[in-house]
Amino acid sequence: MLDFLWNLGSFIVVLGILITAHEYGHFWVARRCGIKVERFSIGFGKAIWRKVGQDGTEYVVAMIPLGGYVKMLDERVEDVPEELKDQAFNRKTVWQRIAVVSAGPIANFLFAIVALYLMYLIGVPSLKPVIDTTRANTPAAQIELKEPMQIVAVSGQKVRNWEEVNLALVGHIGGKELDISLVPLSSTTASEKTYTLDIRDWQFDPDKESPIGAMGLGIYRPGIKPVIALVTNGSAAEIAGLQLGDEILKVNGQPYQDWNDFVDVIQTSANKDVNLTIARNNEQLTIIVTPQAQTNANGETIGIVGVSPTQIDWPESMRFQLEYGIVDSFAAAADKTWQLVVVSFKMIGKLFTGDVSVKNLSGPISIAQGAGTSADYGLVYFLGFIALISVNLGIINLMPLPVLDGGHLLYYFIEVITGKPVPEKVQDIGFRFGAVMLLLLMSIAIFNDFSRL
């Protein structure tokens, strides 16, 4: 329940900030174009806060925080007194109307830059993207690894941490090939070695693995101690009496080898006894644990006991703080925002070509979970999440669906080309079509959200 409330609260905060930024973009440009703004509302429905400013605009915060709007004086909506007609939206030039409508998405892109600027000023704790294995029958199988290697570029794009690697890989979905440039982790002077990977058959399910794993890249991880660091409440381990700090010495009478072997034994022993020899307080004990049966994502029955091992700390040489100065942070934020915009547009295009499944669409539930998780990790990660959602909100609003900003812009650019407005009957049909399409997309996204729960 607490997780639900935390996610919901984080979602409302994120949505409130981004809607405010978006609507303020419309508001600010409308005022500069001499348009009278009657209402600036964050949310829909009944007002929970209202104030009329000295400029005559009614500022509102409403009950339903799923959107917002800027109500401008418009003769197409209501009768306008003669003395105010020059302040009506419909009386402005087509380029002024284009400026007002496009200002919302632009504000979202600018806000993303601000959020990322603050993130880079504070600094992002990061790990170097180092691989030590590749998986057979994957695009990365052709990479020869004799020692841990650091990924320094993907198709010429420099990458510094795993997040940047992930973003670069996603942009190549549906492509034919990509280049990965590597340098040995043990040397700072060795030259880069670049591999061209065939990705024509590369596919991945984001619900099951990351682009990195699907590519076949084995992330380097420091060793694992067979010392229990977590026992889940109500798990088989807790029922059997396992405790924090217990060290696993033997599994079914065989000396412990590594954690993967231990996991294999547990997963293949659903509802079967497993004998563990452990060390606790300088004594050896034998504990019998019965893994609980669970169905995995592939529909297979596996055993779980509900414990986690102790992770050896990452070497200092692999950890770094991704941060910039006051000036350089702006350049880095603008570059990252541009990368997010490009990748997002590519993903939308790949949805239409079929390279990306509609199953990848996410709705409000996934956004709420992401907001809560990023807020849990701290301000830096929360800022990065807000920037990502802000970019996506801006791009979605630019889609040429008549009910969105992009649809209005489409009509206005047709007006620029033809010299006359699109007939109202055509616009009305377009708005109805756009509403249906938007409802369909939202329904798919929400269905995907529930299927992931």
User: For position 199, which CATH number holds?
Assistant: 2.30.42.10
The mean pLDDT of 367-372, rounded to a whole number, is: 63
Which amino acid is residue 135, in one-letter code?
A: R
Separation between Cα atoms, residue 370 and residue 311, nearest integer Å: 25
Q: So what's the pLDDT on residue 315?
A: 84
Domain assignment present for 112: yes
**Pair type for strands 130-134 and 149-154:** antiparallel
Rounded to an integer, what distance in angstroms lies between the CA atom of residue 324 and that of residue 165?
19
DSSP 83: G
Regarding whether 335 and 449 lie in a shared domain, the answer is yes
Residue 120: the pLDDT is: 92
268 vs 369, higher pLDDT: 268
Q: Report strand pairing: 292-295 vs 301-304.
A: antiparallel
Q: Where does the pLDDT of residue 118 fall: very low under 50, low under 70, confident under 90, or very high at 90 and above? A: very high
Is residue 115 classed exposed, middle or buried when 0-12, 13-18 and 19+ CB atoms within 10 A define those classes? buried
The confidence band for 4, taking pLDDT boundaries of 50, 70 and 90, is low
Q: What is the DSSP letter of 142?
A: G
| Domain with 248 in it | 224-309
Q: What is the mean pLDDT of residues 374-384?
A: 79
DSSP, collapsed to helix, strand or coil, labels residue 66 as: strand
Domain contains 26:
no
- Strands 217-219 and 301-304 turn out to be unpaired
Backbone φ and ψ of 351, nearest 5°: -65, -40
- Domain shared by 304 and 364, yes or no: no
The residue among 322, 353, 375 that closes a domain is 322
- Look at residue 143 and tell me if it is in a domain: yes
Q: Tell me the pLDDT of the chain averaged across its residues.
A: 85
Decide which of 285, 309, 333 is a domain's last residue: 309
Asked whether residue 303 falls in the same domain as residue 330, the answer is no
Both 208 and 174 in a single domain?
A: yes
Q: E strands, 222-315, where?
A: 224-231, 247-251, 254-255, 274-280, 283-289, 292-295, 301-304, 307-311
Q: Of 65, 52, 1, 11, which Cα lies nearest the Cα of 382?
A: 11
What distance in Å separates the CA atoms of residue 154 and residue 156, rounded to the nearest whole number?
Answer: 5
Annotated catalytic residue within 23, 82, 144, 415: 23
Say whether both 339 and 249 belong to one domain: no
More confident position, 397 or 107: 107
In this structure, of 7-21, 316-330, 344-358, the range with the lowest mean pLDDT score is 344-358
Pair (131, 202) in one structural domain? yes
Instruction: Give the range among 103-112, 250-259, 418-427 with minimum mean pLDDT.
Output: 418-427
The answer to whether 238 is a known catalytic residue is no
Residue 8 confidence (pLDDT) above 80: no
Final residue before a domain boundary, out of 276, 299, 322:
322
CA distance 70 to 53: 14
- Same domain, residue pair 244 and 368: no
All residues at 6 or more sequence positions from 338 whose CB lies less than 8 Å from its CB, including other chains:
none
Per-residue confidence band for 26, with pLDDT thresholds at 50, 70 and 90: very high
Q: How confident is the model at residue 78 (pLDDT cuts 50, 70, 90)?
A: confident
Q: Are residues 296 and 331 in the same domain?
A: no
Of the pLDDT bands very low, low, confident and very high (cuts 50, 70, 90), residue 326 is very high
Could you give the number of structural domains in the chain? 3
* Interatomic CA distance for residues 87 and 80, integer angstroms: 9
The fraction of the chain above a pLDDT of 70, given in percent, is 88
Q: Report the pLDDT value the prediction gives residue 81, as an integer from 0 to 100.
A: 86
Same domain? For 278 and 351 the reply is no
pLDDT at site 36:
92
54 is a domain residue: no
The amino acid present at 358, given as its one-letter code, is: V
Note whether 192 and 317 are same-domain residues: yes
- Residue-level pLDDT at 53: 85
Same domain, yes or no: 271 and 284: yes
Is 137 within the bounds of a domain? Answer: yes
pLDDT bin (cut points 50, 70, 90) of residue 323 is confident
* pLDDT tier for residue 297 given thresholds of 50, 70 and 90: low
Q: Assess whether 115 and 165 both reside in one domain.
A: no
